[in-house]
Amino acid sequence: MRTGPREEVRSLLVDVVTAAVRAGEVGALPTAIALERPKQADHGDFATNVALLIAKGSGKSPRAVADLLVGRLPIGGTSPLAAVTVAGPGFINIRLADAYWQAALPRILTAAETWGQSPARQHPRICLEYLSANPTGPMHFAHGRHAAVGDSLARLLRFAGYPVKTEFYVNDAGNQVHVLSLSVWSRYMEAARAADPSVPAVPFPENGYKGAYVRDFGNELFARDGGRHVGDVPPADLESIKSFAIERCLGIIRATLARFDVTFDFWQRERALHESGDVRATLAALDAAGFIDRRDDAVWLKTTTLWGDEKDRVVVKSDGVPTYLLADIAYHRKKIASGGEELCDIWGSDHHGHVAKMRAALKAFGHDPDILRVVLIQMVSLVREGKPIAMGKREGEFVTLDEVITEVGRDATRFFYLMRRHDTPLEFDLELAKRQSMDNPVYYVQYAHARCRAILRRARELEAPPAVLDPELASLLALPEEIAILRRLVDFPDFVADAAAAHEPHRLTTFLMDLAGEFQSYYTRLQKVYGDTILPQERHRSAGDDWRERWDWRKTAARLHWVEAVSLVMRNGLRLLGVSAPEAMAKSENLTKEDES
């Protein structure tokens, strides 16, 4: 697979630096040559500080070393480099030739839906755990950010060549599901009393779940079991009610995820870790390694010794019940035993204190703590007409993810969740997400794709003659805007690789909005600034019967290949976000044929 522009430039730099080292002009070759995108486009395509790194010990100033390296670089002619300059104390700015970007267009079109994809790489197998919403009710809208980030990250990593297994950790043990079962039993008693007034009234749990779904569960349970669970107090054995409630909640969660186009390779039950003995075995292994302390009738993990924690952490409470921490340690131990070599967890920002505990536990088992990579998701607030929507799950006052999807659509929901970096608070504007206008980011991007497809359809209607995309034809794409967009299309594989390595799928929304903006600007400027159009308009076609002979079809053919590439990269980027790329949209189809040209 041909390397991208960054690696081609880096290879040229390595060659000249190596030659300078061999000639005794500079010191040793650096371990790596960094290439960055200049913040200002007029500074070039890449910038490097390599001269500053190798000047030390050479007896030359960094700028002198930079001049030396620039003098060795091939510039012009058949070289991909059009210009190389030295700036400041010795930074080297590099600009690639227009012909380099033009020549890449056939590769993009040939790769099609695989453009941007990297081959499978020799990389540690990534176990990506995300969402893991407690099975105590429907997914609320804040869960949507976790689902969107996690699923898009999995798509991004796989596209970039990483081996990935996705997991959902079901917290079906502990106090929260116990409270859920009590809540369902209370509503069950209400249903039983409605059928038979002699049934005693029972109080609703003080911290119970009050959502309407709990009442539905209670009614369903009564319809299924009749008076089996009727009593003045909850049954001593709540297991059947707990299992019923958990499975009903998981059914709702799975249905929502299906609507959201999110799938998992594996669902791990917390209860299964206890029943299989994994939790007990984990405690025994920690004890054998000398990292367990017993005091105050409880069992403690020595995180102060392992990690310099401010205090040790309880793993078994005084009543003999294992804590969530111990079960989670067992779960991570199982991930590694199942082949996970890099553990990536996506948690809420309120779990930041849990990170050190888990790394301490991994260290206790002899693993490098850095194999655990935690992505912390900041809070998301829901806004309607500029006003935040207050909610609380226990009180039953919350907006579900299903409701958001129904109101604004899956595409807008996913895109909006991914518009900000994961560690930045996000404000989700419902009215903006629904708006069919250019100020809606997802509409803006999808419309740009639909416009590309409309142009290509219109070309077929006009029977635009095709032309083979050879270097001569590609050279007709010479406008600055055409080259700038070509540069972005060619950069897509490097961009994907960087976003995947950083575990930041939100970069894709930025990339797509920038690409859409550049294309829309080009489309406008082509007519208003250059007095040109991609396709012949009515005024051209009505200026005599010989208009087809007078029209520059070769330039049109070059631009149609280019438009196809723009739509292709947009489609590939949207697919990584789990967002559709419409072939047509209402507004774009309602434009006149002249506008689409």
Report the distance separating Cα 101 and Cα 492, nearest Å.
Answer: 12
586 token code pair = 């209402």
Q: Which H or E run contains 164?
A: strand 164-170
Strand ranges, E, within 397-527? 426-429
Q: What percent of the chain has pLDDT over 90?
A: 85
Report the distance separating Cα 270 and Cα 136, nearest Å.
Answer: 14
Q: Where does residue 316 rank: exposed (0-12), middle (13-18), buried (19+ CB within 10 A)?
A: buried
Amino acid letter, residue 439: D
Tell me which residue has tokens 């629904």. 434
Phi-psi region of 105 (alpha: psi -120 to 50; beta: other; left: phi over 0): alpha
Amino acid letter, residue 262: V
Instruction: Give 392's pLDDT tier (boundaries 50, 70, 90).
Output: low
Report the distance separating Cα 485 and Cα 488, nearest Å.
Answer: 5
Report the distance separating Cα 355 and Cα 352, nearest Å.
Answer: 6
What is the arithmetic mean of pLDDT over 224-233?
96
Instruction: Give 588's pLDDT tier (boundaries 50, 70, 90).
Output: very low
Count of alpha carbons within 13 angstroms of residue 280, beta-carbon side:
6
In b/e form, how buried is each residue of 442-460, taking b as 16+ CB within 10 angstroms?
bbbbbbbbbbbbbbbebbe
What is the arithmetic mean of pLDDT over 567-586?
96
**Do 143 and 133 form a contact (C-beta atoms < 8 A)?**
yes
More confident residue, 420 or 589: 420
Considering the domain 126-172+260-377 in this protein, what is its CATH number?
Answer: 3.40.50.620
Question: How many residues make up the chain in this entry?
Answer: 597
More confident residue, 360 or 59: 360
Mean pLDDT, all residues of the chain = 93
What is the arithmetic mean of pLDDT over 580-594?
68
- Apex 134 CA angle, 128 and 137, nearest 5: 130
Tell me which residue has tokens 């803006």. 444
What is the arithmetic mean of pLDDT over 562-586?
96
**Do 565 and 109 form a contact (C-beta atoms < 8 A)?**
yes
Please tell me the predicted confidence (pLDDT) of residue 587.
64
Please tell me the predicted confidence (pLDDT) of residue 317.
96
Amino acid letter, residue 268: Q
Amino acid letter, residue 192: A
533-545: pLDDT as tens digits: 999 998 888 877 7
Bridge partners (DSSP) of residue 313 are 301
- Per DSSP, the residues of 343-359 read EEEEEEGGGHHHHHHHH
What is the arithmetic mean of pLDDT over 11-33?
90
Roughly what angle, to the nearest 10 degrees, separates helices 175-195 and 239-259? 100
571 token code pair = 């489609």
Task: Fill in the DSSP letter of residue 119.
Answer: P
More confident residue, 389 or 209: 209
**Do 243 and 181 form a contact (C-beta atoms < 8 A)?**
no
39-54: pLDDT as tens digits: 888 889 999 999 999 9
Residue 499: name the closest of 155, 48, 166, 32 by CA. Answer: 155
Decide if pLDDT at 199 tops 80: yes
**Do 343 and 332 form a contact (C-beta atoms < 8 A)?**
yes
Report the distance separating Cα 574 and Cα 567, nearest Å.
Answer: 10
Residue 52: name the closest of 43, 39, 61, 40 by CA. Answer: 61
What is the arithmetic mean of pLDDT over 358-362?
95
Please tell me the predicted confidence (pLDDT) of residue 596.
45
Decide if pLDDT at 592 tops 60: no
93-138: pLDDT as tens digits: 999 999 999 999 999 999 999 999 998 888 889 999 999 989 999 9
Task: Fill in the DSSP letter of residue 113.
Answer: G
- Residue 465 has a CB neighbour count (10 Å cut-off) of 12
Neighbour order of strands in the sheet with 81-87: 46-48, 91-96, 81-87
256-265: pLDDT as tens digits: 999 999 999 9
Please tell me the predicted confidence (pLDDT) of residue 361.
96
Please tell me the predicted confidence (pLDDT) of residue 589.
43
**Do 345 and 375 form a contact (C-beta atoms < 8 A)?**
yes
Please tell me the predicted confidence (pLDDT) of residue 396.
56
140 token code pair = 């609320």
What is the arithmetic mean of pLDDT over 525-538?
94
**Do 372 and 359 form a contact (C-beta atoms < 8 A)?**
yes
- Per DSSP, the residues of 488-515 read HHHHHHHHHHHHHHHT-THHHHHHHHHH
**Do 325 and 315 form a contact (C-beta atoms < 8 A)?**
yes
Domain covering 5-96 assigned CATH 3.30.1360.70 in the classification? yes
Q: Which H or E run contains 443?
A: helix 441-461
Report the distance separating Cα 2 and Cα 494, nearest Å.
Answer: 12
Decide if pLDDT at 488 tops 70: yes
Per-domain residue ranges of the chain: 5-96, 126-172+260-377, 175-257, 441-596
111 token code pair = 């790769």
**Do 245 and 217 form a contact (C-beta atoms < 8 A)?**
yes
**Do 184 and 157 form a contact (C-beta atoms < 8 A)?**
no
Phi-psi region of 117 (alpha: psi -120 to 50; beta: other; left: phi over 0): beta
Instruction: Give 528's pLDDT tier (boundaries 50, 70, 90).
Output: very high
Residue 403: name the closest of 151, 134, 144, 131 by CA. Answer: 144
Report the top-level CATH class of 441-596. Answer: mainly alpha
- Apex 142 CA angle, 500 and 330, nearest 5: 65
Report the distance separating Cα 86 and Cα 52, nearest Å.
Answer: 12
Task: Fill in the DSSP letter of residue 351.
Answer: G
Decide if pLDDT at 166 tops 60: yes
Report the distance separating Cα 366 and Cα 283, nearest Å.
Answer: 15
